[in-house]
Each structure stands twice: as structure tokens, then as C-alpha cells.
């Protein structure tokens, strides 16, 4: 599947309307009915975006499957602790994990040779969350074009504060823009999104990178301005901010932050489909929808087939970008 087709696919399937459709179709198949409590193993500490997503989803999923769901936080090793737990679990659907793009970039860098996408089953994609570039209200930058001009004038001395080290999901997003615009920026790694927001508000960094959710209230308070979003279309909550593409910078818009569910290798396809259907059904609930809209994320209804293909595509984009950036051989 080429990137271009995939883009169309994402465009076509994202949205709440399709969700309800898929739920309607799946009612004919047998529903997922585990015979014991299910564990959701996370790679992050409690309280972050992944944790809130998992707990909100679990709450809605419990009545659907008739079992309680235990959220297990297993931080450490950039996902290694969690993936180790998952890899040795029985493929019976009682132990599942939540993954992000970090898992994929990790498998290409630090955890190369330790874990690979083939070690797991990729069951369902739940959220996609484009990244965007933003500045403080009083910044003289108003668009990606301004940013590129500034970088050209300063020989790359524009500080971009983003999450994670060189080779992280957001850093690769920045590298894509560098390539498309033919400029260099200065990546300054941060360890949490609130740190990034604080650094931009305090005038210590020129530009910040983030997903929409954590920055939304700062936009509403008029303290931040958006420069551009790396995605196919504009964000519903910030309709004035143009995409990179609209401003003439063509980057691979399938490079999105994702939150999905994966499990140990060897789970039967039928079981995977049942789990995916149950997850998407839970996502259609009012309380999940309220949370997801407030968090500024977009829903996805990818089941095991589409999600596995999507992961393959993402991995190859990551590989390509990491090579281009000289991070891996």
C-alpha cells in the first residue's frame, strides 16, 4: 500500500460516523466474552495521556465484555518492560497492551534486536493524534512559512522544543518538515508536554511541538498561536491553523501519533476481531466520546487487518526517516 493510498484510507475511515457503522456490522459476529479479568499493560506511569485513555476505555469496556479490566502500569526501558510482559503472556486475549508510535521508533533504535513488530499481534487502532507546531501569542511567527524563512535567515538557529530525544516521533515529524522545506532547525529535547508549553510561554524556546489536547486550553485562553498541523486536514478545534500541505510543504501525513491495542503473538484472528469490535463499541459510548473530544484526539476504527498494515507502513516510514536523519545505519 503506498503512502498516498493510505492517506486516502485514513481520510476515508476516520470519524465517528464510520465507528457506528462498524459497530452495527459487528453485532452479527460472536462477541468477545473473556472468562477472566483482562489486563491492560501500559508502558507509562499513571496520569499521562496513555493512562487516561486506557482507564477511560476500560471503564466503558467492562460492561460490554462482562469482566473487570485491570490497568497495569509497567514503565521502564522505553516500553521494554511492558513489551517483555506481553511477549511472555498467553495469547488468550486476557493480556493486552496499549501502544504508541514510541514503540515503533524504539524497535528501530534502542530496542532494535530486542523487540520487533513481528513479535506481537496488532489488534485495533483507537486514536490518531496529529502533531502541530505552535508559538507564544507575542511571537512574530504566524505560519510554517514564517518559520522556514526565519530558519533560512538564521542558518538553522531556530529552537524547536519537542517531546523525546532525536529520533522520537515528534523529532521525526520535524525532520520531515526540514526535508520538505530544505532547511535545518535546532531540536531541543523535553520530557513532558507541560514543560514544552512552559518553555514556549516563558520565551525560552521559539517553537513548541505537541498534540492538540494538552495545548487546547492555552489556545482558548489566547496565549498560544498555531503555525501548522502535520495531517491531511485541519483540526476541528483550531480551524484557522493550516496544514503543512496547505502551506506548500509536502510531508507524509500518515506520520501521526497513535494509540492502539496490541497483544502477544499467536492470538487467533477471530479473537482479535472480537476484541477490536468490543473496543470500537466502547469508544462509541457517550462518556468516551466526551473524553475524546475534550482530549482533542480523533477516533479510528481500524481492526486487526488494517492496523497490522498501518503498523507495517509506520515502521517503514520510521526506518526511512531515522536513516535519513543518520540515527540508524
Partner 1 sequence: MLESLAIGFSAFGDPMVWIALVFGALAGYLIGAIPGLGPSLGVALLIPFTYGMDPVVSIVGLVALYAAAEYGGAITAILINSPGTAAAVATSWDGYPLTKQGRTGEALTVSILSSGAGIFISTLFLILTAVPLSEFALRFGPGEYFALALVGLSLVAGLSEGSPLKGTVAMGIGLALATVGLDVQTGVPRFSMGNPEFYEGLPLVPVLLGLYALSEVLFMIEEGPSEKLKSTPIGGLLALPVKTILSLKKVILRSSVLGYAIGVIPGAGASIASFVSYAVSKRASKTPEKFGKGSLEGVASSEAANNSAVAGALAPLLALGIPGSPTTAIMVGALMVQGIQPGPLLFARSPEIPYTVFASLWVGVPVMVLVGLAGAKVWAHVANIPRPAVAAIVAGICFVGAYASHTTMFPVHVMTVFGVLGYVLRKLKFPLAPIVLALVLGEMMETSFRRALISNKGEWDIFYTSPMTVILILIAVLALVWPGVSLVRARRAKARSI
Residue from 130, 162, 167, 303 binding partner 1 (CB under 8 A): 167
The least distance separating partner 1 from the CB of residue 171, rounded to whole angstroms, comes to: 9
CA distance 29 to 127: 24
Segment contacting partner 1 (CB under 8 A): 10-18, 212-220, 304-312, 313-321?
A: 212-220
What CA dihedral angle connects 45, 47, 49 and 55, to 10 degrees? 100
Whichever of 207 and 314 has its CB closer to partner 1, that residue is: 207
Q: Is 204 in the site for partner 1 (CB under 8 A)?
A: yes
One residue of 42, 98, 131, 197 binding partner 1 per CB under 8 A: 197
List 31, 118, 220, 270, residue binding partner 1 (CB under 8 A): 220
Contact in structure between 117 and 101 (CB atoms under 8 Å):
no
Q: Minimum distance between the CB of residue 159 and partner 1, rounded to whole angstroms?
A: 5
Minimum distance of partner 1 from residue 98's CB (angstroms) = 14
The only residue of 59, 184, 233, 312 in contact with partner 1, by rule CB under 8 A: 59
Distance CA 196, CA 76 (A): 22
Question: By CB under 8 A, what part of segment 10-49 binds partner 1?
Answer: 45-48
Binding track, positions 75-94, relative to partner 1; x by CB under 8 A: xxxx-xx-------------
Minimum CB separation from partner 1 for residue 100, in Å? Answer: 16
CA–CA distance, 84 with 40 (Å, rounded to integer): 14
Name the one range near partner 1 by CB under 8 A: 141-149, 161-169, 249-257, 266-274: 161-169
Identify which of residues 127 and 272 has a Cβ nearer to partner 1 in the complex: 127
Residue 40's DSSP bridge partners are 71, 96
CA distance 157 to 2: 35
Among 9, 16, 189, 324, binds partner 1 (CB under 8 A): 189
| Separation between Cα atoms, residue 31 and residue 274, nearest integer Å | 6
Q: Give me the residues paired with residue 131 across strands.
A: 211, 230
With CB under 8 A as the contact rule, the residue among 216, 241, 258, 325 that binds partner 1 is: 216
Select 216 or 229, whichever has its Cβ closest to partner 1: 216
Contact string 226-265 vs partner 1 (x = CB under 8 A) = ----------------------------------------
To partner 1, the closest distance from the beta carbon of 218 in angstroms equals 6
User: Residue 52, interface with partner 1 (CB under 8 A)?
Assistant: yes
The residues binding partner 1 (CB under 8 A) are 45-48, 51-52, 55-56, 59, 71-78, 80-81, 109-111, 114, 157, 159, 164-168, 186, 188-192, 194-195, 197-199, 201-205, 216-218, 220-221, 223, 290-291, 294-295, 327
Amino acid at each position: 500500500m503506498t503512502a498516498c493510498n493510505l492517506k486516502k484510507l485514513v481520510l476515508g475511515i476516520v470519524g465517528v460516523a464510520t465507528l457506528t457503522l462498524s459497530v452495527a456490522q459487528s453485532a452479527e459476529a460472536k462477541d468477545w466474552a473473556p472468562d477472566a479479568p483482562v489486563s491492560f499493560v501500559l508502558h507509562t506511569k499513571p496520569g499521562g495521556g496513555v493512562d487516561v485513555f486506557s482507564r477511560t476505555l476500560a471503564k466503558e469496556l467492562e460492561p460490554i465484555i462482562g469482566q473487570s479490566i485491570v490497568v497495569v502500569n509497567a514503565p521502564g526501558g522505553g516500553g521494554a518492560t511492558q513489551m517483555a510482559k506481553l511477549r511472555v503472556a498467553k495469547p488468550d486475549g486476557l493480556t493486552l497492551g496499549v501502544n504508541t508510535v514510541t514503540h515503533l521508533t524504539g524497535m528501530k533504535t534502542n530496542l532494535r534486536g530486542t523487540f520487533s513488530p513481528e513479535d506481537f499481534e496488532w489488534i485495533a487502532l483507537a486514536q490518531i493524534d496529529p502533531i502541530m507546531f505552535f508559538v507564544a501569542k507575542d511571537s512574530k511567527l504566524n505560519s510554517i512559512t514564517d518559520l522556514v524563512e526565519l530558519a533560512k535567515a538564521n542558518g538553522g538557529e531556530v529552537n524547536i522544543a519537542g517531546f523525546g530525544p532525536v529520533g522520537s516521533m515528534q523529532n521525526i515529524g520535524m525532520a520531515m518538515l526540514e526535508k520538505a522545506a530544505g532547511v535545518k532547525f535546532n531540536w531541543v529535547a523535553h520530557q513532558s508536554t507541560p514543560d514544552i508549553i512552559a518553555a514556549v510561554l516563558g520565551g525560552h524556546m521559539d517553537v513548541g511541538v505537541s498534540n492538540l489536547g494538552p495545548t487546547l486550553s492555552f489556545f482558548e485562553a489566547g496565549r498560544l498561536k498555531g503555525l501548522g498541523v502535520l495531517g491531511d486536514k485541519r483540526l476541528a478545534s483550531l480551524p484557522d491553523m493550516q496544514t503543512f500541505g496547505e502551506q506548500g510543504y509536502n510531508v507524509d501525513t500518515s506520520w501521526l501519533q497513535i494509540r492502539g491495542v496490541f497483544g502477544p503473538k499467536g492470538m487467533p484472528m477471530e479473537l482479535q476481531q472480537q476484541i477490536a469490535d468490543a473496543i470500537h463499541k466502547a469508544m462509541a459510548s457517550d462518556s468516551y466520546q466526551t473524553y475524546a473530544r475534550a482530549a482533542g484526539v480523533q477516533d479510528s476504527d481500524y481492526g486487526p487487518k488494517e492496523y497490522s498494515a498501518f503498523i507495517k507502513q509506520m515502521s517503514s516510514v520510521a526506518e526511512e526517516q531515522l536513516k535519513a536523519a543518520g540515527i540508524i545505519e
